[in-house]
Structure 1
Amino acid sequence: MRFPLGRILMALSLLVAAHSVGADTKLTLQALFKDKAIVLVDGARRVLKVGETSPEGVKLVETDTKAETATVAIDGKTQVLRLGMVVAASVGGKGLVTLYAGGGAHFFADGYINDAAVKFLVDTGATIIAINSQVAARAGIDYKSTGRQEIVSTASGMARSYAVKIAKVQVGEITLHNVDASVIEGKFPQQPLLGMSFLGQLDMTREGDKLELRQR
C-alpha cells in the first residue's frame, strides 16, 4: 500500500512536535488576555486560547488577568507563568527547577508558602526565608502565637520580627517542610526572600543567567 508523501511528512512533523519540549525549554508569558495568552516557547511566538496546545506541546490551562499569570501544562504537569518572567519548562524530572535571571540579574521563582501563592526573590545572602506580616496572614501563619520575637534592621529602620517554622514551602517540583523563616511586621520585604534555610537543602548550579535547583 502506498501513502501520499504529504501525509507522511505531516505525520513526521507532528511526531517531532509532540516530543519537542525539553527540560531546558524557555517559556515567557509575553501578553495576557481573558482566556487567551501569547507565550514565547524557546523564542517562538504562540497565541493560545484556553484549552489549546502549541506545536511544542504547551497547553494553556487558564489565565488570570488580575494576578497577571497564566497556567500552562506540559506533559501533564502544570506551571504558572508571570508576565515578562522567563522560566524553564519543569519536565526535567522530579525535584528539579530551572530559573532564568530577570531584570537586574535577579532570579525569581513562583511558589507557595503553605497554600498561598507567592513570587520569591532568590537571595543566597539571606540565612532564612523572610516574609512580611501580610504574606504570613495569607499563608495562615499565626506568628505572634508560635514565633520567637526578635528585632531586625530593615531599610525603613528597626522592626519587630518573629522566628517561625513554615509547614510547607514549594517551588516548582520541590517541596520542603518545617522550614525556618522570619516574619517581619509591616510591608518589608515587599518580595518574599527565598533564603538559605530553603536553598541550603538543595544542590544549586549556576551557569550565566541560568540557575538550577535540585532536591537532594
Structure 2
Amino acid sequence: MSRFQVILFAALLGFCLQVSAAINVQVVGLFPGAAVLKVDGQRKLVKVGETGPGGVQVVSADSRSAVLRVEGVERSYNLSRDYSATSGVASAPAQVSIAKGIGGHYWVAGSISGKNVQFLVDTGATAIAMNEGAAKRLGIDYRVQGQPMVVNTASGTAQAWRVKLDSVKIGGIEVLGVEAAVVAGEAPTEVLLGMSFLNRVSWREDQGMLRLEAKY
C-alpha cells in the first residue's frame, strides 16, 4: 500500500468513525419557547437558551419548528414522529384504560417528574391541581418558580401559583411541560388530573371506562 493510499484510508476511517459517533436528534414536541428533544433515546423538555441531552442547545422554538445547535452547527428542525430504532416503523401510541371507581370517579396511579402520585381525573379542572402539602411532597418549589394567581374553588377564591411540571406520566403515556396549579391550604385533598394533561392526549369514556391514548 502506497503512502497516499495509507493517508486516504486513514482519512476515510476517521470520517466513518465521526459518522458512526454522530448523535441522533429528533424534535418530538414543540411549544412557544421550548422543544421536547429526543437525543439518542433520551427525551427531555428544553427551553430556549438551555442545553439538553448530548449538549444539544435550543436556539429558538415555536409551534412549527425549532432551531437547534448540534455539535456547534445550527439547523432548523420540524416536528418528527417517534420511530422505533429497530424496525424503522412508527411505534404505536401508548394506551391506558381506567375503570370507574367508587362514587363514579376515575382514579389512576401515575407520576409527576418521576414521583408517584394517585390522581383523581377531573375534566372540570382546567389544569392539574394540588394543595401545598402535595406540592411539597413532590418537591415543587412553587413559591419561587410559580406565578401567583387567584383561583375559584367550591369554597370561594383562593391564592394559588401557576407552575409547569417537567413531566406527567400515566401508564405508558408521558406528557412533558404540563401546566399545573398549587392551591394554598388543604384543598383539593386529591391531586386532580385536569385538562392541561387531558388536552394533550386523546381520551373518551366508553361503557364505564376512561380510555387514554398518547398523541404523536
**TM-score computed with the length of structure 1 as normaliser:** 0.55
Amino acid at match of 2:204: T
Look up the equivalent residue of 2:149 and give its one-letter code.
Answer: E
**Runs of 5+ unmatched residues, structure 1:** 1-92
The number of residues matched between the two structures is 124
Contact 1:169–1:175 (CA under 8 A) maintained in structure 2: yes
- What does residue 143 of structure 1 align with? 142
The DSSP-based 3-state class of the residue aligned with 1:166 is strand
TM-score of the two chains, using structure 2 as the length reference: 0.55
Task: Tell me the CA shift for residue 94 of structure 1.
Answer: 5.5
Show the counterpart of 2:213: 214
- Percent identity, aligned pairs only? 40
CA distance in 2, matches of 1:157, 1:127: 16
Q: Partner amino acid for 1:142?
A: D
**3-state secondary structure, aligned to 1:136:** helix
Partner letter of residue 173 of structure 2? I
Q: Secondary structure at the match of 1:110?
A: strand
Query: Is the aligned partner of 1:100 residue 2:99?
Result: yes
Q: Quote the RMSD (CA, aligned, Å).
A: 1.4
Residue of structure 2 equivalent to 1:200: 199
Residue aligning to 1:33:
none
> Mapping of 1:4-83 within 5 angstroms?
none
Classify the secondary structure of the residue corresponding to 2:144. Answer: helix
In the TM superposition, what whole-angstrom CA distance separates every residue of 1:84-130 from its partner, at most 9, and x where no partner exists? xxxxxxxxx75211000001111111011123211111111111110
One-letter amino acid matched to 1:108: W
Give the counterpart letter for 1:160 in structure 2: Q
Q: Pairwise mapping of residues 171-210 of structure 1 onto structure 2 (< 5 A)? A: 171-210=170-209
Contact in 2 for aligned 1:99/1:109 (Cα 8 Å)? yes
After the TM superposition, which parts of structure 1 deviate over 4 Å for at least 4 consecutive aligned residues? none
Please tell me the residue identity of whatever aligns with 1:179. V
1:132 is aligned to 131
Instruction: Give unmatched runs, 5+ long, in structure 2.
Output: 1-91
- SS of the aligned residue for 2:133 comes to helix
Aligned to 1:109: 108
